[in-house]
Chain A
Amino acid sequence: MLKQKCYKNEINSEKRGEKLVFVLPGDMISEKPEHFKKGTAYIKDGKTYAAVVGTLEDGRFTSLEGVYLPMQDDPLVGVIIDERHGNYTVDANISFPVLILAKNIGRMRFRLGDYVSIRVGRIEDDGTVIAGDVRLLKGGKVIDVPTSKVPRIIGKKASMLSLLKEKTGVEMFVGANGYIWIGDRGKVTKAIKAIKTIVAKAHLTGLTDEISKMLESG
């Protein structure tokens, strides 16, 4: 089972004790260089600036929107769409090609249309993703959510994801690229409905309770 990575968008800055403010691209979020999820901020002249819409609260920057940029070891969900000489092309709904190389997968074979979960092994200079570990996901279906909502679907220490799986009995695999695979077993429609709610209300508080209640009923 590939490990799910939780995204930290938290940076420590001097702006402590400040209430929540919205930041727009170009707004300064720290007087120092900080770490951040690629594509959500940037550093210029030693200061950190937002690159996407987000919130700044007590020095913590949370991006509210963003385009997914693959990083080493990220889990992705995709569909096999091409095969050439044992190498496969995967559609993971990102603007970069995602390839599974024959030499990395031993005897595994896939068919067009198969769903797979992969871990990002290597990223080439032009952005092409080379898959590391690959696993076939049998049957099921894939739903497409905005990538900025993925952390909310997983939750702190995977709490939301556990809640979903426990209460519905479904098998789920969440790709950082926004594709979520759901197996055929369990209360699939219920799970999809819950995910839809999380996507709509990701930025509001009390969501875990709401989802918990939703999954208890009916």
Chain B
Amino acid sequence: MENKEIELIVNGKRLDGRGLHDLRPIKIKVGVLEDADGSASVEWGGNKVVAGVYGPRECIPRHMENPYKAIVKCQYMMSTFCSLEEHGRMGPNRRSVEISKVIRQALENVIMVELFPKSQIEVYAIVLQADGGTRISALTAAVAALMDAGIPLRDTVIGVSVGKAGDKLIADLGKMEDNFGQSDVPIAFTNRDKDIVLLQMDGLLTKDELSKIIDLAFRKGEDINQLQRKAIENKYGETVSKRLRIG
């Protein structure tokens, strides 16, 4: 996993000049699509993701409906041009299916599905540009889109990737750190109660290191939460114009 030829940390600074715990620039915007019930775009470092939410609405196919709660469907996908290195293929692959699932399971923790029996809530995210940490960017966009849609949530969800590179514990891994670092831990948790709803890890860590980077994630989460709040407030600063349907 670790590539000793690339010095990821030099004099306490990372390849892009950031300090060990600095986040990349993050821009969140809600209400970017008109047809979707809720939508958001996230630019996180070099990542660009758009998410759209539909529902709650009638469950299709009917036989999948749950008589006690809404089912949540989630699809994360990457555009064919999101990677500099190659032209990807259209359609889902194993990785995108796995990511769709972990995002769905994270969101199911907070969406108040019991309010909408027999219906479905769909969350779609497309990565237009990838730069390390796409699943966290996608989750961030999805949460903002759900709030934009007015779907009731128990709490806001905050995601960030933390990990280890150059023997240092770092926050918000970029592409190089993701590919060549010592450990990558994407994590997402609820804002108020700090329930961890998404947690994955690769590489090697001690228990003490894991504990420290989770704390680091919680700390950085405060900054991200402020950005989420600002994004929502900005929506109401401008007039919101939705197309009226007439029939």
Query: How large, as a class, is the contact surface on chain B?
Result: 35 or more
Asked if B129 is at the interface (CB within 8 A of a chain A CB), the reply is no
Asked if B214 is at the interface (CB within 8 A of a chain A CB), the reply is no
For B229, list chain A residues within 8 Å (CB): 22, 24
A19-42 contact mask (Cβ, 8 Å, vs B): 1 or 0: 000101111100000000011101
**Best-buried of A25, A126, A201 by chain B (most CB within 10 Å):** A25
Q: How far, in Å, is B155 (CB) from chain A's closest CB?
A: 3
For A25, list chain B residues within 8 Å (CB): 110, 147, 152-156
Question: Which residues of B line the A interface, CB within 8 A?
Answer: 55-58, 67-68, 70, 110, 112, 115-119, 147-156, 190-192, 228-229, 232-233, 236, 239-242, 244-247
Q: How far, in Å, is A109 (CB) from chain B's closest CB?
A: 22
Q: Which of A1-9, A10-18, A143-151, A161-169 contacts B (4 or more CB under 8 A)?
A: A143-151
How far is B134's CA from A216's CA once the two chains are assembled, in angstroms? 52
Q: How far, in Å, is A4 (CB) from chain B's closest CB?
A: 20
Give the top 8 A-B pairs by smallest Cβ distance, nearest first.
Answer: A65-B150, A26-B155, A95-B119, A51-B152, A25-B153, A95-B56, A144-B245, A66-B150
Does A126 lie within 8 Å of B239, measured CB to CB? no
How far is B228's CA from A148's CA once the two chains are assembled, in angstroms? 21
How far is B40's CA from A110's CA once the two chains are assembled, in angstroms? 42
Does B115 lie within 8 Å of A126, measured CB to CB? no
For A27, list chain B residues within 8 Å (CB): 192
For B190, list chain A residues within 8 Å (CB): 26
Q: Which of A100-108, A131-139, A192-200 contacts B (4 or more CB under 8 A)?
A: A192-200
* In the complex, residue of chain A having the shortest beta-carbon distance to the beta carbon of B153: A25
- Which of B68, B151, B244 touches A67 (beta carbons < 8 Å)? B151
Does B147 lie within 8 Å of A24, measured CB to CB? yes
A141-159 contact mask (Cβ, 8 Å, vs B): 1 or 0: 1111110100000000000
For A40, list chain B residues within 8 Å (CB): 152
